[in-house]
Chain A
Amino acid sequence: MTKTNSKTTKYQYQEYADIDTGYQALRWHEPVIYELSRKGSRNEIIPNAEKEIQVKVGDITKKIPKKICRKTPAALPELSEPEVMRHYLRLSQETFGYDSGVNIGLGTCTMKYSPKLNDQLAKLPSIAYLHPLQPEETFQGLLEIMYDLRTWLCELSGMDEFSFLPRGGGHSVYTNACIMRAYHRANGNLHKNEVITCAVSHPCNAGCPSTAGFKVIELHPNKNTGDIGLDQLEAVVSDRTAGLFLTAPYDTGVFDSQLGEYAKLIHSYGGLVALDQANFNGVMTRMRAGDIGADLMHFNLHKTFSTPHGSAGPGAGAIGVKKELREYLPAPLLEFDGSQYHLNYNLPKTIGKTGVFYGVIINVLKAYAWIMSMGEQGLREASEWAVINNNYLIKKMLEVRGVDIAWPNRRKLQEARFHLQKMKEETGIGSAEVNLRIADFGIQTFFESHEPVIIPEPVTPEASEAASKEDLDRFVEAFHQISKEAYSNPEIIRTAPHHCTIHQTNLEPLLDSKRTKVTWRAYQKRGLS
């Protein structure tokens, strides 16, 4: 096996790498940690039991029945502490964090600044050293924070109760689907087994109800308006309808103009409306799910409410329900009797749990700290800036050759769906190719689209309030440059990236399950064949 990531010989596309993009990522050629291993290296992190205990109990491990003893030592690498530190520090440097780059490409992810104070607070011993099963009187301080956040989110959403149990957006929708299931069963409506959603709602709006056992019916946005249209919904709603799972606003930045009518229609058939408000950032303080007919909804604390994305989690979901559904929420509920906060487990109709304990508490704290920092005025301002930044971006992006926008006749809120169909047609360069190149400019790769891709060659950036005008201009400038390359020398793009930590990935072993390896040991056995 060749030593991996070794310094390479002359780069075959050096002439493209010589084009100045104003950015060059760090390139440590860092080997896989196993290759750094030195046999016998040890770190004394955890001590042996105290002498007295050792003497008293002897080698208890000898009493483990043979048949359940580990037979072969695990082949973990052996390194000294400074080597481990250096290795992972280098890997962190080879990662495009929100803080380090222009990070407005990831639409629907609402990448925004995570205040450092909040990260520090979440590490304080007064929260880090709490056990979830301590008597509630010993963590009244945390319960107060949770209860206040619950109350604020009720206010922002127009809902009556919240739970922080879910770990993310998808987990929230799943938990809401479980609540919907429990509600219809409790009312004897076993025939209500169909959930309606639409193609421009997040995939979890279809996938989660399906995982909970519902049949899922997917509608499509009107080609002209971007809305579903009441006529389409009327064509499928029936007594079997358990509920509607819809994202508002959509990932297209469009707010469905008939959402209120949909809710009324679904309710008239005894169904429930579950709103996915992962895209809440642009409508904060401007609309409330509870006011427009939602029975269930969720926020992503790691999107709108600033908690860091953690390289892909932990995030945090907050599910809100109307009072009729309160008793179905996961136990315990937070309650306040005027002097003390309580965890109420007495919920006979609860769905039980979809995860352990009370949710991602550290992110509950960070979201709370963020809202406190903003105040209502700040929230309103943030939302407005998410919308202004996006509309500024739209105007500027449409000046780029080969860039168009879906549903041009609609106003766009927090984000917009651009597309490169013309560029693709004229140059062969589409959104996937441009995405190979954009990181060469110090700009994070952009989100294309969720499945199903109904707008071909999609580009979906989202400039939250934390983007500066200069960031937006830099993003657009990079697009101009890439467009020029597409129309003059598309090979630069096809062979990109040239300024990133590594070069273009060979996708073949990743897409063929017979060749896929996800551990070093599997790779050592068979390579990529």
Chain B
Amino acid sequence: MNPGERKKKLGLIVNPLAGIGGRVGLKGSDGIETVKKAFAMGAEIISPQRAMETLQDIYPFKDEFDLFTYPKGMGEDEAKACGFSPIVLGEIVPDQTSAEDTKSAARKMVDLEIDLILFVGGDGTARDIYEAIGDKATVLGIPSGVKIHSSVYAVNPHRASELIKMFLKGSAPVREMEVMDIDEDLFRKGQVSARLYGYLQVPHEKGLIQSAKSASLGAGNNRTIAEAVVDGMNDDYYILGPGTTVKAIGDELKIEKTLLGVDVIYRKQLIGKDLNEQQLLGLIEGKNAKIVVTIIGGQGYIFGRGNQQISPRVIRKVGKQNLIVIATKNKLLSLKGPLLVDTGDSECDNYLSGYIRVITGYNEESVWKIEC
């Protein structure tokens, strides 16, 4: 810490039940019945262990921050076990914690202007945090759950501690990351149906020192991408998929684009909100249309995750040549592989495969391969 700086406040919320389904082959731990079933099958609580791995790593820096947490197994026990003297907030009934406890803990921490809220859990926990506080605080997930489709989590508890240290030093900038979840009932039946629930503000690792001559190239932000799309608009119908990058087009046009739904605009006016496949097909029947989508999820899907409404029928009707893919450069570069499609129709997936231009800024496009 540097002289004259305010001591940072760190929050810790452990969802003690997160992840217990995994070890016993249950997919996820959402819902009281599943939890009971898991315990019955001999599941062990793993999230405290995960939390402690991170806490041990950051213990040498304990003087640089104050630690706030929730009682007992929701953080207090773990923190004390690692030698911290945390400030404990709220009250809980031990061993019977629920989503509500996670939410109220998060809300309390927002009220206290905590600089970084750490939470330990899985996709369900991330959804709870999102529902409770949205973008009102900077958060970071320590993965413990079975399902990790959300990109708000560090890769593992040790990388989480690296990020925390960087954040304390001011060298981990914050960006929005997706909260995703799949329907656990469907997942347990072997079907993947990931949905986008929203975005949280998460620090990310930028490297301690960037290359000396970097940044001559202006990677676009959501706004410049939206400007590029809007400037290129004609009298076609525009099907706009979910996500903040697409929503920025709505902001640019000063219309209320839904964040998570599929909307349609025509001549820069919103003519349909949060539409399903049938409604989309009805609207574009006999018309020229375009589809605007962005990458959803860390794996690089542009179809089949969170935008299933834009079905193979819709895609075929619009035509591959009328597909506009937009994404920030950071997002593209964080992908480990190509762009992916999983429309549920392998013929359609094949049809979409090949190189495509992705709009990454005003007057700036990046070429990526779509694979299925």
Chain A residues engaging chain B, CB cutoff 8 angstroms: 108, 170, 199, 203-204, 206-207, 210, 213-220, 231-232, 235-236, 428, 430-433, 435-436, 447-454, 506-508, 511-512, 527-529
Flag if A448 contacts B368 (CB, 8 Å): no
CB distance from A186 to the nearest CB of B (A): 22
Flag if A203 contacts B217 (CB, 8 Å): yes
Is B96 an interface position by the 8 A CB rule?
A: no
Most A CB atoms within 10 A — which of B213, B215, B368? Answer: B213
What are the residues of chain A within 8 A of B299 when measuring CB–CB? none
Known: A218-B364, A232-B367, A452-B333. A204 touches B216 (CB 8 A): yes
Known: A448-B211, A450-B214. A428 touches B158 (CB 8 A): yes
Flag if B208 contacts A453 (CB, 8 Å): no
CB distance from A434 to the nearest CB of B (A): 10
Query: Can you report 5 A-B residue pairs in the complex whose CB atoms are below 8 A from each other?
Result: A203-B213, A217-B365, A220-B366, A451-B211, A451-B219
User: Given the complex of chains A and B, what is the CA–CA distance between A218 and B358 in angstroms?
Assistant: 9
Flag if A216 contacts B169 (CB, 8 Å): no
Known: A210-B218, A430-B207, A447-B212. A512 touches B158 (CB 8 A): no
Residue of B nearest to A427 (CB): B158
Flag if A220 contacts B209 (CB, 8 Å): no
Flag if B355 contacts A231 (CB, 8 Å): yes
Flag if A453 contacts B333 (CB, 8 Å): yes
CB distance from B106 to the nearest CB of A (A): 26
Flag if A170 contacts B171 (CB, 8 Å): no
Contact with A along B308-330 (1 / 0, CB 8 A): 00000000000000000000010
Is B173 an interface position by the 8 A CB rule?
A: yes
Residue of B nearest to A431 (CB): B207
Flag if B329 contacts A506 (CB, 8 Å): no
Flag if B2 contacts A506 (CB, 8 Å): yes
Flag if A508 contacts B2 (CB, 8 Å): yes
What are the residues of chain A within 8 A of B90 when measuring CB–CB? none
Most A CB atoms within 10 A — which of B2, B207, B211, B215? Answer: B211
What are the residues of chain A within 8 A of B363 when measuring CB–CB? 210, 213-216
User: Given the complex of chains A and B, what is the CA–CA distance between A450 and B210 in angstroms?
Assistant: 9
Flag if A449 contacts B162 (CB, 8 Å): no
CB distance from B166 to the nearest CB of A (A): 10
- A-B pair count, CB < 8 Å, reads 110
Flag if A218 contacts B211 (CB, 8 Å): no
CB distance from A267 to the nearest CB of B (A): 20
CB distance from A435 to the nearest CB of B (A): 6
CB distance from A40 to the nearest CB of B (A): 34
Q: Which positions 153-169 of chain B face chain A at CB distance < 8 Å?
A: 158-159, 162, 169
Flag if B208 contacts A432 (CB, 8 Å): yes
CB distance from A100 to the nearest CB of B (A): 19
What are the residues of chain A within 8 A of B217 when measuring CB–CB? 203, 206-207, 210, 451-452
Residue of A nearest to B207 (CB): A432
User: Given the complex of chains A and B, what is the CA–CA distance between A210 and B309 in angstroms?
Assistant: 36
User: Given the complex of chains A and B, what is the CA–CA distance between A528 and B1 in angstroms?
Assistant: 13
Residue of B nearest to A217 (CB): B365
Known: A206-B217, A236-B367. A454 touches B207 (CB 8 A): no
Q: Which positions 351-372 of chain B face chain A at CB distance < 8 Å?
A: 354-357, 360, 363-369
CB distance from A509 to the nearest CB of B (A): 8
Chain B residues engaging chain A, CB cutoff 8 angstroms: 2, 4, 158-159, 162, 169-171, 173, 207-219, 329, 333, 354-357, 360, 363-369
User: Given the complex of chains A and B, what is the CA–CA distance between A452 and B369 in angstroms?
Assistant: 17
Known: A220-B368, A236-B367, A506-B2. 6 other contacts (CB 8 A): A235-B367, A435-B209, A447-B211, A449-B211, A511-B171, A528-B4
Known: A432-B208, A506-B169. A203 touches B365 (CB 8 A): no
Instruction: Pick from B169, B209, B354, B366: contact of A217, CB below 8 A.
Output: B366
Flag if B170 contacts A428 (CB, 8 Å): no
Instruction: Pick from A207, A217, A447, A448: contact of B218, CB below 8 A.
Output: A207
User: Given the complex of chains A and B, what is the CA–CA distance between A433 and B364 in angstroms?
Assistant: 32
Instruction: Pick from A203, A217, A436, A448: contact of B357, CB below 8 A.
Output: A217
User: Given the complex of chains A and B, what is the CA–CA distance between A447 and B216 in angstroms?
Assistant: 15
User: Given the complex of chains A and B, what is the CA–CA distance between A217 and B158 in angstroms?
Assistant: 38
Flag if B367 contacts A216 (CB, 8 Å): no
Instruction: Pick from A203, A210, A448: contact of B207, CB below 8 A.
Output: A448
CB distance from A37 to the nearest CB of B (A): 25
User: Given the complex of chains A and B, what is the CA–CA distance between A294 and B333 in angstroms?
Assistant: 30
What are the residues of chain A within 8 A of B159 when measuring CB–CB? 428
User: Given the complex of chains A and B, what is the CA–CA distance between A218 and B214 in angstroms?
Assistant: 16
Residue of A nearest to B334 (CB): A456
Instruction: Pick from B2, B354, B356, B366: contact of A218, CB below 8 A.
Output: B366
Most B CB atoms within 10 A — which of A204, A430, A436, A451? Answer: A451
CB distance from A135 to the nearest CB of B (A): 40
User: Given the complex of chains A and B, what is the CA–CA distance between A186 and B200 in angstroms?
Assistant: 51
User: Given the complex of chains A and B, what is the CA–CA distance between A217 and B215 in angstroms?
Assistant: 17
CB distance from A114 to the nearest CB of B (A): 20
CB distance from A519 to the nearest CB of B (A): 20
CB distance from B46 to the nearest CB of A (A): 22
Flag if A217 contacts B367 (CB, 8 Å): yes
What are the residues of chain A within 8 A of B355 when measuring CB–CB? 231-232, 235-236
CB distance from A513 to the nearest CB of B (A): 12
CB distance from A213 to the nearest CB of B (A): 8
CB distance from B336 to the nearest CB of A (A): 10
Known: A432-B207, A506-B2, A511-B173. A451 touches B215 (CB 8 A): yes
What are the residues of chain A within 8 A of B219 when measuring CB–CB? 451-452
What are the residues of chain A within 8 A of B354 when measuring CB–CB? 235
The 5 closest A-B pairs by CB, nearest first: A508-B170, A432-B208, A235-B355, A203-B216, A451-B214
User: Given the complex of chains A and B, what is the CA–CA distance between A529 and B159 in angstroms?
Assistant: 29
Residue of A nearest to B213 (CB): A450
Flag if B207 contacts A452 (CB, 8 Å): no
User: Given the complex of chains A and B, what is the CA–CA distance between A335 and B213 in angstroms?
Assistant: 36
CB distance from A63 to the nearest CB of B (A): 47
CB distance from A182 to the nearest CB of B (A): 19
Flag if A216 contacts B207 (CB, 8 Å): no
Residue of B nearest to A173 (CB): B216
